[in-house]
C-alpha cells in the first residue's frame, strides 16, 4: 500500500463575497466559492457575511466561529485553478 499524505489547506486569501483562494499541501491554489456549501442549520448561519468572515486556518482546513469546517478534499474538488 502506498503512503499518501492527506490533503490539507495550508494558506487562505479572502477575495470577496463567499470566495477565497486556498492553497493546498500539494502546492496547488484553487479559487473556492463557498456559497453552494452553505446549506443546513449550522452552515446557513454563514450566509450572514459578517459571520462568514469569522474563520481561521487550522492544522488541516478552515474552521468558522460556530465549529463549521469542510474537508480539504471537498474544497479542492469544488475549487477552480487560481
Q: What domains, with CATH codes, occur in the chain?
A: 9-81 (3.30.2020.10)
Q: What is the pLDDT of residue 1?
A: 40
Cβ neighbours for 10, distance < 8 A, ≥ 6 positions apart: 23, 24, 25, 57
Contact 3, 50 (CB under 8 A): no
Mean pLDDT of the chain: 94
pLDDT digits (tens, 9 = 90+) for 54-81: 999 999 999 999 999 999 999 999 999 9
Amino acid at each position: 500500500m502506498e503512503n499518501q499524505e492527506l490533503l490539507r489547506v495550508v494558506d487562505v486569501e479572502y477575495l470577496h463575497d463567499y470566495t477565497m483562494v486556498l492553497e493546498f499541501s500539494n502546492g496547488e491554489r484553487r479559487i473556492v466559492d463557498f456559497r453552494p456549501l452553505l446549506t443546513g442549520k449550522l452552515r446557513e448561519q454563514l450566509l450572514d457575511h459578517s459571520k462568514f468572515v469569522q474563520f481561521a486556518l487550522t492544522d488541516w482546513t478552515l474552521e468558522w466561529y460556530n465549529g463549521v469546517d469542510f474537508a480539504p478534499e471537498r474544497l479542492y474538488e469544488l475549487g477552480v485553478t487560481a
